[in-house]
Every structure is written in structure tokens, then in C-alpha cells.
Amino acid sequence: MGMGSLGTFLGHSLASIQNPPEMTLMLHKLEMYDEFKRNDRSLRLITHKVHEQRRGFDAEVLDLEGHWCQSLANHRPTPPGTYPRVLADDETIHNLIVTVKGAQTVKALQSVAHRLRPTSTILFMQNGMGQVSTVNEKVFPNVAGRPTYMLGIISHGVYLQNNFIANHAGFGTTSLGIWRDFEKFPPAPKTTSIEATATAPQPSEAPLWPITARYLLRTLTRTSVLCATHFPELDLMQLQLEKLVMNAVINPLTALLDIFNGSLLNNTYYTHVIRLLIAEISLVIRSLPELQGVPNVDQRFSATRLERIVFDVIKNTAQNSSSMRQDVRHNKETELEFINGYIVKRGEEMGIKCVMNFMIMQLIRGKTWTGTEPAASEEPIQVLGEGEVSPPVNVSKVAESSNSRKRGQRAEAASEERIQREERRQREEAPRAATRWKSLELDDGQNRHHP
């Protein structure tokens, strides 16, 4: 589910192994299904200018009524512009690989939640952290009915050349791990007595490894192109956090400044901002309760080491354009809530005010705000007089607010509405801050106030 660069790469890689599994591509638009048929129902991977094509994929496309329509590889395709005739709403999904953007995860899973069973397994291959808790809250609130979750991190350099055509620009590794749901499988009670520990009932590991999870893990690790390795949960979490640091620094800064990664190097002013961000992120990670007692956490996530890692990544990807920069440039939804938003949320839980990450989030939101929808904060902006103190900002309220806004081209009507709203706001503030504003005579004869 999610046929971007990563979804195309994973589907092609799994189809390349001996005795490949049966795979179904979940397409959310009829236009993508038509293009899939025009591409001979295949996925293509380009490695060092060598094109390799793989066929034999089934497909399901979401119709206008929210039903999944199935098209098998060995069936006659439907005419262009028409949905497949076979409905797949009652077919159980045993293994689901999710590669959609973090902000689209809940909506994507809600469309197939009725087809997932407690014995099913979902693999999240996404940027950021915190998707699992959001999915549990909004899609699978019933603990007993939750599927098993797997998490994955991929370091391969892949970009989408066209729909269903990916370019494998750099080889890397894939890290996998099974996420333990402590609500479903609580840990054994802590005991101080050696005898009590020996006689206490130990939680069974069998429920944590259903047959679907074992099959998916075995299939991915035998796919040589992925170079996949399984890690215990805590080890995988630390790998996720290291990647999160890189994304939380490089992605928003390059998106705000609209620059390539390498432009962050050799600039003293950018370096100051990077160091402040890293120091704040380092404090949050080293304070996480999940990592208390884990050896060498303070050294591994020290600001000095994280700074060295981030600048190494910037240097190695100097010619790359970050995914968040591309999303902002194309008016697409970003993964901000699961990158910097995760840091802010976890910091709030531990009483740490992440002002740098909070500021970065507001700047990205402001840059992508079209003016057609209300901003994240509903609180009115007040102009403070001399000697007045600003009230505390409810960081968690804003950080957890939804980033799911419809974007696209800025229509003339929306632009005009924004201009009129700005004029009204400025007229209201002018009497209170007259010393900071001045009136200009415009060519059209209208008076407007400008700072």
C-alpha cells in the first residue's frame, strides 16, 4: 500500500527472488490503475542505467464508494476508465506493507481495517516515529482485535522516475523488527526474590510471532537486494531514533530555506541552528523512559555524536533534495507530525519544552498554509503592551493538531480572501500599534497599512 519510490522498490525486489510471494498492489486512484495496465502490469527498477522489469502482480483499486476492486494478473484487464468487476472487501489480508506518507497512514488503513485480523501483520516502512500509537488510537482501539506490527528502516537511495518506475541510486540496508504491544502482551511482573523470579509465570513469546509475521520476516530477509536484517525491539528503536535525528534537522531546514542538503554545509549561521536543534533532540532522546537502563544510551545519543552523524549525512547527500522540501514545493502533505512533532510530543510527556522543534513546526506550517483553512492554533494573537508578559504556549495542543489539509493550486478566490483578511487584521491592530505602522498611498487609490 503506497506505490511511491519505496513501494515500487519493495514490490520489484520481492518479485525478483526465487519462488516469489503472491503480491497485490493497492492503488487508490483509477488513473493509477489505468497507467499500471499501460505499463504491462509491471514494475521497473533502474540500477546503474540497467532497466529490470518484473510482472505478475495482482492489483486492487479503491472505487468512489470506498470498495476495493480486484484485478488478477491472469485475468483479462478491464477497458480504460473502468473499475475491475470483482470486489475484494471480504478477502482477508494476511500481510500488509505500508509505505504511504505518515500523515496518510490512518486514512489508508481505515479503508482495509475490516480485512485485517488479529493474525495479520502490518509492516510500516515510513519516515518518522509514532505512527503505531496513532493507528492504535484511531484504527484499532480494540486491543484484542489488533494485528501484529512490524517496523522497518531502509537506507537505500531510491527515487521515483515515473509511476511504477523507480531508480535505485544508492545501495543500503534494511532493518526490521517486530513491535511488541504491551497492552496486548504485558511484561512479566518485576520481582526482587530469586526464587520468586524462577517460579513466576513468564509471558509466552509465541503470541508475539504469529505465522504471518514469521513468513513476512523470512521473505524479506531472503531478498538479497534489500540486505535486510532483523533486530530486537530496543535495538531497532535506537536505529529509528538515529534516523529521526537526521530527518528532524535536514528535512525541515532544507524545506524552509528551499535548498539542497549540501547548502547547509560551511555556513556558520545554519550551523548554529543545527546545533541548537540537535542539543534539544539529544536531551529528549536521552530522557526517554524506554531507554533507561540501556547501556551507552547517553554516549550514543550525545549531542556531539549526533552532530557528527548529521553533518556526515549532509556531506554524503549534498546533491539530494529532501523529501520534505519536495513535499513543500509540490504543495503535498509533509511528515512533520511524525518527525519534529514526535520530538515535541515526547518532550512534553517528560516536561521538556522543545521550543526549537516547536518553532520549526510552526514555520513549516506557515510556509504551507494556503489561508483557506484555519491555522493550527485557535487562540487570537494579542499585541502586548509595555511591561506585559506573554502567556505560556500550549505546545502539546498545537503539536498534536492535525496537519491533514488539502493543498493544491492557490486559486484566485482564496488569494483574494486572504488579502482581505489581512487588511481587516491590520486595520484592527493599527490603533493599538500606530507607532509601528504607516499608511501608504497605492496606485489604485486605496489606502493599506503595511508593517
Helix boundaries (H) for 369-438: 395-399, 412-429
Residue 167 dihedral angles phi and psi, to the nearest 5°: -110, 120
The three grid cell numbers given for residue 74, joined into one nine-digit string: 491472469
Q: Residue type at 390?
A: S
**Distance between CA atoms of residues 17 and 22, nearest Å:** 12
Distance (Å, whole) CA 256 – CA 127 = 19
Q: What is the pLDDT of residue 65?
A: 83
* pLDDT for position 389: 46
Pairing of strands 68-71, 58-62: antiparallel
Radius of gyration of the chain (CA): 25
Sheet with 43-47, edge to edge strand ranges: 50-54, 43-47, 165-170, 157-162
In the prediction, which pLDDT does 66 show?
83
What residue type is assigned to position 438 of the chain?
K
With beta carbons less than 8 A apart as the criterion, state whether 87 and 69 touch. Answer: yes
Distance separating alpha carbons of residues 356 and 361, to the nearest angstrom:
9
Distance CA 285, CA 292 (A): 10
Residue 380's pLDDT is what? Answer: 45
| Strand (E) or helix (H) holding 137 | helix 131-138
User: Quick one: pLDDT at residue 321?
Assistant: 85
For 3, 89, 196, the CA distances from 6, given in Å and listed in that order, are: 7, 25, 49
The long-range contacts involving 270-279, CB below 8 angstroms and separated by at least 24 positions, are 274/249, 274/307, 274/310, 274/311, 275/303, 275/307, 276/356, 277/248, 277/249, 277/356, 277/357, 277/360, 278/245, 278/249, 278/303, 278/306, 278/307, 278/310, 279/303
3-class SS of residue 274: helix
Characterize the bridge pairing of strands 58-62 and 24-27.
Answer: parallel
| Residue pointed to by grid coordinates 486595520 | 427
Whether 139 and 112 have beta carbons less than 8 Å apart is answered as: no
Contact criterion met (CB below 8 Å) for 95 and 212: yes
Backbone angles phi, psi at 423, to 5 degrees: -65, -40
**pLDDT digits (tens), the chain, 451 positions:** 998 889 999 999 999 998 999 999 999 888 999 899 888 889 999 998 899 999 889 899 988 888 888 888 777 777 887 888 778 878 899 999 999 988 889 999 998 999 999 999 999 999 889 899 999 999 999 988 899 999 999 988 888 888 999 999 888 899 999 988 777 777 666 555 555 545 544 444 445 688 999 999 999 999 999 999 999 989 999 999 999 999 999 999 999 999 999 999 988 999 999 999 999 999 999 999 999 988 999 999 999 999 999 999 999 888 888 889 988 998 888 899 999 999 999 999 999 999 999 999 999 999 888 776 655 554 444 444 455 544 554 544 444 444 434 444 444 455 456 555 655 554 454 444 333 333 333 334 444 333 3
Which residues are CB-contacts of 80 (< 8 A; sequence separation ≥ 6)? 34, 37
Question: What is the pTM assigned to this prediction?
Answer: 0.77
CA 242 from chain centre, in angstroms, equals 15
d(CA 449, CA 82): 54
- Per-residue pLDDT, 374: 59
DSSP assigned state of 145? G
Tell me, what's the pLDDT at 189? Answer: 63
